Amino acid sequence: MTSNIVIEAQNIGKSFYDPQKTTVLHDICFRIHAGEFVSITGKSGCGKSTLLYILSTMDTDYSGKLFIDKECLNNKTEKELAQIRNEKIGFVFLFYYLLNEFSVLKNVML
């Protein structure tokens, strides 16, 4: 039995131009199948957060192709991407802000 591909990155590249061109990601290719547990590791500044922003559809200024559930996300409008994020992507923020007056469970439920 083969599992469905949930996320696929094809030749993802990203450069910044301030003040000169700095390539952060070059030709990143991978597939994540349903049920897989995947982590991104590396030294500070190697492009982990940049890649996550691209995978989350928050950054659309990159080269290559990104697919979620076999749907190509390139050239989608911001409204379409927002709908995809709402339906298919969950975020856990590095800096969380819990309210002291509530339990952890109640904070998460909010």
Quick: pLDDT tens for 4-15: 999 999 999 999
pLDDT of residue 40: 93
Domain count, the chain: 1
Length of the chain: 110
Whole-model pTM: value is: 0.80
For residue 15, give both structure tokens: 């450069």
Quick: pLDDT tens for 15-38: 999 899 999 999 999 999 999 999
Quick: pLDDT tens for 45-91: 899 999 999 999 999 999 999 999 999 999 999 999 999 999 998 87
**Ramachandran region, residue 98 (left: φ > 0; alpha: ψ -120 to 50; beta: rest):** beta
Quick: pLDDT tens for 86-108: 999 887 766 567 778 888 788 77
Output the 3-class SS for 91-104: CCCCCCCCCCCCCH
Return the CATH number at 42: 3.40.50.300
Give the range of the structural domain holding residue 20, as residue numbers without chain letter.
Answer: 5-109
